[in-house]
Chain A
Amino acid sequence: MQQLIAFFTKFGAGFLFVFLQIIAGVLYLNFNGSTEKMAFLSSANGVLANLQELVNKTTNYWNLGTVNDSLAKENARLKMQFPNAKYQSKMDTIFVQDSAFKQQYVFTAAKIVNNNLHHTNNYITLNRGSQHNIRPNSGVVSATSNGIVGIVKKVSNNYSVAMSIFHKETRISAKIKRNDYFGVLQWNGIGMTHLDLESLPKHASIQKGDSIVTSGYSNIFPEDIFVGTVDTFFSNKSSSFFTVKVRLAADVSNMQQVYIVTDLMQTEKKNLEEAAKYE
């Protein structure tokens, strides 16, 4: 017996060590990994659960940065799901098939994605580009109402930028629908409701309310697209031309849907005209 006690006092620590390690090992192997077993000895128990909740409440700030980042990412991902974040690659091109006529103008539905009206030279960005066969010098007309919007100047793969009709350099050939006298539409830089029809010969008969339509001479717009109506007209004594104030039919400032009008024969006509000039 004395020997046994002596044995234990000598090696007891070792035995206890092995014993406790075995218990710990059994616990470790049994209560880790499988969730249903963990319930016995884990933070899922009442007091510890409350403690853990307190822990989470008090130490949430450790993770605030990460949480913020992940929320921002999630937000961006969700925002990308909105229809307005998506680029409409589906083409809404309207072709008029007629065996008697060859197609000259192609209408491509487009959306205004940027529209500036606060400068003297204003531009409009549209969500159609060269991959939709949009070319510079295409006309832009309103899709929902009658009216012209601008002229495409630059084209990238997905987008095109058009000179607005409210651009000091924009010149659009237009005529009076009733008698075909034609002039040049331009913007005088003031207001968004009127354009000036210049270079209209003085002998032309004009009345207030006359319809002004595009002439088709420049091959940017097809003929007979409605622009607006005559509001007032006047001329200087020295001048042989009228200046006609044209009240615009379309309001560009709140426009969203437009058609881009591409003239398939524009180059041919231009080349011919250039050639004729130097004959």
Chain B
Amino acid sequence: MNSVYLIYFWRFLLLALLQVLVLMNMPLGQINIYIYPLAILFLPLEIPVMLLMLIGFCYGLCIDLCYNSAGLHASALVTLALVKNWLAFKLSPRADFDIGKTINKNLYGIVWFLKFALIMLAIHIVWVITLEEFGFGLAWLLRVILSFVLSAILWIIYQFIFNPK
């Protein structure tokens, strides 16, 4: 059990570092690539939603510290945490999950995972960019679409690297 939590911790750290050391400094202008929400996505499904929201809030604040955007990513991750379990159950073919199972492409297959992950990504990106832009417009639409496409590619690549089976 301990080693499992250690894996989650390292994943949080790795994704956060990847986000703020590499992706944050990509010369893409207003387009953002987000990898760190994957850490929330990959947490086990038996974690209660309230705890998940608190974890998401703290994790988001850490990201915000580097982005100089206090509250922005925290808010988005709290939303993701709220939606995550509900969406997973909604999409899953069964009514319950096995204890200790985490969401990845091998759980119900790649199609199921993509459906789940891309909906989560879309929620995250729309949330963050709407808060940043504080309105809708052509710039908002372009940012959402481009950020979504680039992030989605990265998420899929990440899946195939760390869950190769």
Contacts and interface: CB of A to CB of B under 8 A. Distances in A.
Indicate whether A and B interact.
yes
Interface residues of A, number: 32
B3 interface: no
B66 A26 contact: no
Contacts, number: 89
Contact of A42 (B20, B54, B70, B79): B70
A32 B74 CA distance: 14
Nearest to B83: A17
A263 B53 CA distance: 92
A80 interface: no
Interface residues of B, number: 28
Contact of A52 (B49, B50, B66): B66
A39 to B, nearest CB: 11
Interface string A49-87: 001101110110011001000000000000000000000
Contacts of B75: 20-21, 24-25, 28
Contact of A24 (B49, B66, B78, B82): B78
Given A17-B53, A55-B21, A23 B71 contact: yes
Contacts of B26: 62
Which of the listed residues A24, A38, A41, A59 has the most CB atoms from chain B within 10 Å of its own CB?
A24
Contacts of A21: 75, 78-79
Interface string A7-34: 0000011001100110111111111100
Given A17-B82, A42-B70, 8 more contacts: A13-B50, A13-B82, A16-B50, A16-B53, A24-B72, A38-B70, A55-B21, A59-B22
